[in-house]
Amino acid sequence: MRKDSFSYDVNAEVVLTAAEVVNMMKCSAEHYDYACKAAGELGGFLYGLNNRFVEYVEPGATPAPAKLSVCEVDLLCKVLEGSSADKTLYWNMRRLLLSMIRESERVNEVHHA
């Protein structure tokens, strides 16, 4: 065995509003794709975000940021493609995904010709 190199995963720390999470949960439930539906169901990461930012938040409290992976943000972009989606949230999520991809390339020294 030989070690070829190291690679690093990029996570984004985000704070979502209750309205944003409720919108994503609605879009998830209405989505045709199983992975998008599963994200909002018991055991899914979006279900966990709902618990964190909606269900178990003290009135007036600001929850601590949640860490999202590139794969989770990518899936949230897909969840938010539906007609019920908040389009501002969709575009903010897309910009976040692009910035995470760029940061991943930077920290992993990916160079394009």
Question: 93 Cβ partners below 8 Å, 6+ apart?
Answer: 73, 76, 77, 80
Give the global pTM.
Answer: 0.88
What local confidence, expressed as pLDDT, does residue 67 receive?
A: 96
The string of pLDDT tens digits covering residues 17-62 is 999 999 999 999 999 999 999 999 999 999 999 999 888 888 878 7
| Contact of 54 with 109, CB cutoff 8 Å | no
Q: Would the pLDDT of 74 be above 70?
A: yes
Q: Would the pLDDT of 113 be above 60?
A: no
Length of the chain: 113
Extract the tokens encoding 3: 């070690």
